[in-house]
Structure 1
Amino acid sequence: MGDPREPPEGAPDGGSGSDDEYRSVVFDESFVRAARIQELSARERLAGSFGRATRPRVRLGPLGTVPRQALALLLLILLAFAAAVYFGISTPNRQTSRPEGSQLTVSLVALSPVSAVRPVADPAAPFAALPPGYGDGAIGLGTPAGAATAHFSKIEVTKALDTVQRYLVASSLAPTALVQGSTADVRAFVTPGEQAQFDASAAHPVDDRHHALTGWVVRFDPAQVALAADSVKVAGAMRIDEADSTTLQITTDHTFVYALKPAGAPSGAPVTLETVRRQLTFQFDRIDLASAQLRLVDSVLQAGPAPCAGSLAGYVRPLLAGADGAVTGAQPTEGAQPPEGVQPIDPGNHARPAWQVCGVLAGS
């Protein structure tokens, strides 16, 4: 018997005898009725406004054949490169190279008396005749409270001021530095870029404006001088500034008064007051602040009574009670007036610049 699905007359000529292969493309009657037929107007047909059956392709030239994944990866690489270039240009390198070499410039000024140096009236109270305004040790430094600058925070400025104060105590007030010959505590504050200059100054001090050890530290020759009092009187101030946007600068101007006597002298021996004015300029970058170190870039020291003839590079060399100083070749006498044209210098007067040539100690 034949297949009941075949027509009585059999399959048409050339046919397969089965419509299964067309079943996927034959629409039923309900689909045909629901189809929306839109007839184009004559104007649309004349204008050639025929809708496209496919989505238009974006023309990318040679990139049009590149797979989408590759295009996305290429775009990410370009964006990352552009970001790296932008941030590299817009964010400056705060510290490309650190300062090194002979950065400190030193000026040493001996203040010679015009008369014989007299001892204090009472060795037990050597500072009794000082004018008001002097404090004991670190109190007299007058360290200000930290305040933010244009490019440095209050915390950073406060840390710089603390480092400067501790340096001044170590280099101007500590007996280990003053009369015991130690420089290790002072050197610990110096940045690595200046340590070679400091070491050369300590090993071979010379007044060449860069290698005088007394530019770094106040020190007296322990074979000649001893402290006659435990305290040191100090007056002065500090100023906060910026050298540039990455460099904090602090300038200090202090007068230190030391009570001295000859080395090995017994208790009750004559006591002499030695006055030393130090005007110092310190600079800090953020690496210095983090390590609690400093760069000393300028140092001016006035000391008197001291002879003009001797060098102050290695030690401050005071004239003790009974000794004479000389501004000229002649020995000064009691009550002598300063040589003509020589203006007396008061190391306690901070209104005048500290840098001078050898001068006369006012009030001597």
Structure 2
Amino acid sequence: MGDPGEPPEGVPEGGSGSDDEYRSVVFDESFVKAARITELSAVERLGGGAPRAVRHKLGLGLLASLPRQALTLLLLIVLAFGAAVYFGVTGPQHQAGGPAGSQLTSQLTALTPPAGTVPTVDPSSPFANLSAAAGYADGSAGFGLPAVRTSTTHFTPDQVSTAVDTVRRYLIASELSQAVLVQGETAPVRALVTPGEQAQFDLGTTAPSDDQHHSATGWMVRFDPMKEALASDTVKVAGSVVVRELDPATLELTADHTLIYALRPAGAAVTGPVSLYTVRREVRFDLDRTDIVNAQVRVVDVVQQAGPSACGAVQDEYLQPLAPGATGPAAGQPGTVDPGDRSHPAWQGCAVLGGPAG
């Protein structure tokens, strides 16, 4: 005869009817795993070393309730972040403000005087003999800048205008500023160079060398203040600045100018002998959008012809003009080069000076 508490049909298959009253307190696996305490195993109890029949689990808080896959993924993220931080700190450090490896390359061609001695000019009007047809103007008026509102495919007129103005200011600082020309200053030029090239600039001005990368005269026109003085505040300039896109992210500006300086020996009387010194500088600048915003340039290539100078003169720190009346080259020197003729490449060996200062 059945239990009076059982239903007439008997106990349902799969469990005792008396278990129903405990169904509300049955703990699933996740609840057990999340418990803060756990009962000691039989081995642990027999060992007798534990004063209590339970032990506390480590307090991992929410982590203890996470599925194993989630914990594994979290661990991988932490490891990846740690590796990124480590390699970011210990990896090679590139200089800011320009692509890694951005470096100026420069070349100087010395031009010797065409006749036996360096000619002199009238101190009161040193540029009187310049041809009016040669297009020389005073200072920056001779730069031949691009037309206003010039644009390219990927650069707006405002961006191009800013780039041109930055190059203009660099040319003034590096080719026309008296502080740079004859007073030994370099800061006005350095301020316009991107941070990525400033270490090279500093090495070129503090420890210049004739290696095509570390000559101070590659960055700027400068004369030794102990040897040379300006006989006129005016510098005659003729040439142009051309803009084009090197790529969609970079503007390339090329400045090709002939500059004529009136010089006298340092300490000489105002009425003393004066000679003209001619420098042709072809300078290529690259500017990306960051350079344009920061109003700085990357000076990439500089090719120069300068004279009258001796072919063997060391000109990595200062340009070395021959003094008025100094003796010219021996017979058999290379052919004549006119630095005012910008229709030919400037990259040549030593040559004889021809043209406006001849």
Unaligned segments of structure 1, at least 5 residues: 1-95, 333-338
- For residue 103 of structure 1, report the CA deviation from its aligned partner: 1.1
Aligned to 2:288: 285
- For residue 230 of structure 1, report the CA deviation from its aligned partner: 1.0
Q: Secondary structure at the match of 1:229?
A: coil
Q: Secondary structure at the match of 1:111?
A: strand
Change (3 A) 1:97 1:299: closer
Q: Distance in 1 between matches of 2:328 and 2:226?
A: 20
Are residue 356 (structure 1) and residue 335 (structure 2) matched? Answer: no
Does the aligned pair in 1 maintain the 2:98–2:194 contact within 8 Å?
Answer: no
Are residue 108 (structure 1) and residue 108 (structure 2) matched? Answer: yes
Are residue 131 (structure 1) and residue 134 (structure 2) matched? Answer: no
Q: Distance in 2 between matches of 1:301 and 1:324?
A: 23
Alignment of 1:4-83 (within 5 A): none
Does the aligned pair in 2 maintain the 1:107–1:209 contact within 8 Å?
Answer: yes
Q: Distance in 1 between matches of 2:98 and 2:141?
A: 33
Does the aligned pair in 2 maintain the 1:101–1:197 contact within 8 Å?
Answer: no
One-letter amino acid of the counterpart of residue 173, structure 2: A
Q: Deviations over 1:105-127 (max 9, x none)?
A: 1011100113211101x210000
Q: TM-score, normalised by structure 1?
A: 0.69
Q: Distance in 1 between matches of 2:217 and 2:144?
A: 22
Match of 2:310 among 307, 310, 329: 307
- For residue 325 of structure 1, report the CA deviation from its aligned partner: 3.1
Q: Distance in 2 between matches of 1:262 and 1:97?
A: 40
Does the aligned pair in 2 maintain the 1:102–1:197 contact within 8 Å?
Answer: no
- What is the identity percentage for the equivalent residue pairs of Structure 1 and Structure 2? 53
Change (3 A) 1:97 1:155: closer
- For residue 97 of structure 1, report the CA deviation from its aligned partner: 9.0
Does the aligned pair in 1 maintain the 2:97–2:196 contact within 8 Å?
Answer: no
- For residue 243 of structure 1, report the CA deviation from its aligned partner: 1.1
Match of 1:144 among 143, 146, 152: 146
What is the aligned length? 257
Alignment of 1:1-364 (within 5 A): 98-101=98-101, 103-115=103-115, 116-120=117-121, 122-132=122-132, 133-145=135-147, 146-326=149-329, 330=330, 339=332, 342-363=334-355, 364=358
- For residue 102 of structure 1, report the CA deviation from its aligned partner: 5.3
Unaligned segments of structure 2, at least 5 residues: 1-95
Does the aligned pair in 1 maintain the 2:145–2:242 contact within 8 Å?
Answer: no
- For residue 343 of structure 1, report the CA deviation from its aligned partner: 2.1
Q: Deviations over 1:218-264 (max 9, x none)?
A: 00001000000011000000111111110000001000000000000
Q: Distance in 1 between matches of 2:260 and 2:294?
A: 31
Change (3 A) 1:102 1:286: closer
Q: Distance in 2 between matches of 1:125 and 1:156?
A: 41
Change (3 A) 1:274 1:97: closer
Aligned Cα root-mean-square deviation (Å): 1.5
Q: Distance in 1 between matches of 2:98 and 2:231?
A: 43
Q: TM-score, normalised by structure 2?
A: 0.70
Q: Deviations over 1:326-356 (max 9, x none)?
A: 2xxx3x6xxxxxx37x320000000011110
Does the aligned pair in 2 maintain the 1:276–1:347 contact within 8 Å?
Answer: yes
Does the aligned pair in 2 maintain the 1:214–1:315 contact within 8 Å?
Answer: yes
One-letter amino acid of the counterpart of residue 146, structure 2: P
Q: Secondary structure at the match of 1:172?
A: helix
Q: Secondary structure at the match of 1:201?
A: helix
Q: Which runs of 4+ in 1 moved over 2 A?
A: none
One-letter amino acid of the counterpart of residue 114, structure 2: V
Q: Secondary structure at the match of 1:251?
A: strand
Does the aligned pair in 2 maintain the 1:119–1:321 contact within 8 Å?
Answer: yes
